[in-house]
Amino acid sequence: MCLHAGEWGAQAHEQTLEVETAARAIELSEWFAAQQLDILSAGRHAGRRKVRDEVLALLADKPTGITGRDVQRARICRTAEEAHALLAAMESEDALTGTDSKPDGGGCVTRTFSRPRK
């Protein structure tokens, strides 16, 4: 409507909206949305990088490895599920290596993450 009003001014309400004007408006709104997403993605990327750096700093303090529970206790993630998902994502990107262990007397399997061996 803004393009239509810009084209016709005070007489815009008397004129029929042209298909070409509507198409230009759609193109403009799509361009604007893409620009907004580009701007927002930089902030999201910086946020993800900060969280991953915090995990690596925690790992530097615990060279034997970290678990999802360690990440949650360090308040890097709010829930254990978020922590496990983050660690799994970092493992899939080869930033971490995970190993499973089960206590000798039985119990739950624990996945411990460490720096990948190069």
pLDDT band at residue 17, thresholds of 50, 70 and 90? confident
Q: Is the pLDDT of residue 1 over 80?
A: no
Alpha helices in the chain (DSSP H): 2-8, 19-61, 68-73, 80-92
CATH architecture group of domain 2-6+16-114: Orthogonal Bundle (1.10)
Residue-wise pLDDT tens digits, 19-61: 898 898 899 999 999 999 988 888 888 889 999 999 999 999 9
In the chain, where the domains are located: 2-6+16-114
CA distance 24 to 4: 10
CA distance 18 to 71: 57
Put simply, whether the predicted model's pTM sits higher than 0.75 gets the answer: no
The number of C-alpha atoms within 13 Å of 92 and in the hemisphere containing its C-beta is: 6
